[in-house]
Structure 1
């Protein structure tokens, strides 16, 4: 197992390797999905998270071995890039890849654990959540700053921003970082970047109003395009879900 870390301490690297060896048996489960699993471990007096990526299919085993950076490596490098641009994300510690075999194998991403108060999804589920409108406006300012820094977060979705309440407002931390682009974003791309967040028009209106003010864009044009992008995403999402449901039916 090859570990790339921002620490040169042999003891620290050894401990990270132990975490990998014990990953299936130890640690507190934070998220257990079909593809990836995230666990919390105690490391040098603080809590960290380790994300274990699903071993890829044969094509990607070859691609990640010889042609592309792994999801773990991209997560680590993108986290460093975000922090350098003033965008918060849990502090990256290391990434590890199984580099011994002919094909790419297991991979892991290590970062600090953030005890979030909520994610964006909570704002969708609870319309009466305290200070909901203020949080949405602050989230929009965060997204605008991200866009102005030339960051296109391709997985800008309800569960991928951790929100921490502060005395003076809110901090927003991006997670699930392996799909990201960097460069100037035009207006269409900026509006597209809101499309995955919510199916609720009243939330879109709040964000569009705030974004238009920040960027000095036409308000009605911003509202119309942001909502059109959200509607198009929802239509595509439910169409794909219906197709999968039909395929499962015919497999029975």
Structure 2
């Protein structure tokens, strides 16, 4: 076992180990993820969020032991990196990895459970949502600032942004952190392709494109064109994947 714990939470080591022993039966499930299991647990007056990553296949188990950092470790390290650059993410507490002779058997990322927040998805799918335009502009500003810091948040989907209104400001907390790229040279087209996973709604993308254009100095027409192209490509990929899954299902029968 590899157990890395933030010094600020060192007194909770035994609590975390106890929770891991009872992870399958205890805790409150958060969301409905298909790949990973996320639960929160009460520890004293605190709430700890545990993300258990899906069991890897035989080859990847070996890869994640000897050649690549586990998703749990990357989540912990990237969370600290974001905080050091003054971005918001739930406070990282620990990551834990379990191994056998061959490779990684399971891994967990532990962070603060964020309450009194809502996902960007809520504003995206509800045209009547309060301050909707302001939220989209704040989102565009966040992504621009990430890009300016050379950070490409690959899982740039609406469910991976939790929003808290604090002192009349909408603060965005990034979650699901294990997939990021870091660039010293981050070209405009690559930056704009980073929006592909968000939405294919044209009106929403107009708001985001206008704000990103204002901040970056890139013409708004160019921003909208490249974002829409990336979004359309992502939609096509998802449709192809669904078709392949459909045929795969019937081939098994």
Does residue 24 of the first structure (1) align with residue 12 of the second (2)? no
Partner of 1:188: 189
Unaligned runs of 5+ in 2: none
Contact 1:3 1:13 in 2 (8 A): no
* 1:9–1:175 Cα change, 3 Å: closer
Does residue 40 of the first structure (1) align with residue 40 of the second (2)? yes
Partner of 1:56: 56
Shift of residue 29, structure 1, vs aligned partner: 0.8
Does residue 197 of the first structure (1) align with residue 213 of the second (2)? no
Contact 1:136 1:203 in 2 (8 A): yes
Shift of residue 123, structure 1, vs aligned partner: 2.3
Which of structure 1's runs of 4+ aligned residues deviate more than 4 A?
8-11
Q: Which moved more, 1:31-40 or 1:214-223?
A: 31-40
Shift of residue 73, structure 1, vs aligned partner: 0.5
What is the rounded CA distance, in whole Å, between the counterparts of 1:194 and 1:26 in structure 2? Answer: 37
Partner of 2:162: 162
What is the rounded CA distance, in whole Å, between the counterparts of 1:49 and 1:93 in structure 2? Answer: 9
Q: Deviations over 1:157-176 (max 9, x none)?
A: 12111111223220001100
Partner of 2:233: 232
What is the rounded CA distance, in whole Å, between the counterparts of 2:2 and 2:227 in structure 1? Answer: 43
Contact 1:50 1:108 in 2 (8 A): yes
SS in 2 for 1:16: helix
SS in 1 for 2:52: strand
> What TM-score does the superposition give when structure 1 sets the normalisation length?
0.95
Task: Please give the root-mean-square deviation of Cα atoms over the aligned residues, in Å.
Answer: 1.5
> What TM-score does the superposition give when structure 2 sets the normalisation length?
0.95
State how many pairs are aligned: 252
* 1:7–1:44 Cα change, 3 Å: farther
Unaligned runs of 5+ in 1: none
Does residue 212 of the first structure (1) align with residue 219 of the second (2)? no
Matches within 5 A, 1:67-78: 67-78=67-78
SS in 2 for 1:199: coil
Q: Which moved more, 1:187-196 or 1:23-32?
A: 23-32
Shift of residue 249, structure 1, vs aligned partner: 2.2
SS in 1 for 2:103: coil
* 1:211–1:63 Cα change, 3 Å: same
